[in-house]
Amino acid sequence: MSVLKIITIPDSRLKNKSLDVDKYDKELKQKIKDLYDTLYFSENGIGLAAPQVGIFERIVVIDLKEDSKSKPLTLINPKIINKSNEKFINQEGCLSIPGYYADVERSMEIEYEWFDENGNKQTAIAQGLLSICIQHEVDHLNGVLFIDYLSGLKKKMALDKVLKFNKKNKTSKNDD
Ligand code: ZN
């Protein structure tokens, strides 16, 4: 089991655009496994994008744990093909912005395509929480964070929260 270190703001690497995966090999499967280990180790994460752990490849793992049952969804090179005009507002958080939550407006429904870990292309429609989660994670692959949709003042509040959160964790856990 490998739990990887999650990069938090204001690390500029979170603004990197990630590259397409072109090899569906053992190494990719290991990265996916490490991403799930890291996601499940986090307290309340439902999705993690590879750039959040410093791997700048288009890999996303999601588990909404519906009815407290694990429901892993691995997306390689995901693309949102269609977005509904109907929007809704939901409170979002992010493992790279620990301790901060804010309302973000997203499309209610999306049509998306992706490759599974064996390189098979898939297409589906997502609604509600899954739709938000995919939009949030695909943004990460393009170097966009949910706080980028907020005002400058809220962005500053988010940064203050994270700096406080990281400081507290450093003193209590005594790690680097
Ligand atoms: Zn995030």
Rounded distance between C-alpha atoms, residue 52 and residue 96, angstroms: 7
Give 93-135 pLDDT, tens digit per residue: 999 999 999 999 999 999 999 999 999 999 999 999 999 999 9
Give 68-102 pLDDT, tens digit per residue: 889 999 999 999 999 999 999 999 999 999 999 99
Classify residue 53 by its DSSP letter.
G
- 55 Cα to the center of ligand 1, angstroms: 14
The residues annotated as belonging to the active site are 137
Rounded distance between C-alpha atoms, residue 60 and residue 21, angstroms: 11
Average pLDDT score, the chain: 94
Rounded distance between C-alpha atoms, residue 71 and residue 64, angstroms: 6
- 140 Cα to the center of ligand 1, angstroms: 7
Token pair for 12? 């500029």
Rounded distance between C-alpha atoms, residue 99 and residue 8, angstroms: 11
Residues having C-beta closer than 5 Å to ion ligand 1 = 94
Of 111, 64, 110, nearest to 87 (Cα)? 110
**CA angle, corner 21, sides to 79 and 131, nearest 5?**
25
Residue 176 has pLDDT above 70, yes or no: no
Q: Is the CB of residue 21 less than 8 Å from the CB of residue 57?
A: yes
pLDDT on residue 171: 66
On the question of a cis peptide bond just before residue 10, with omega within 30 degrees of 0, the verdict is: yes
Q: Is the CB of residue 96 less than 8 Å from the CB of residue 48?
A: no
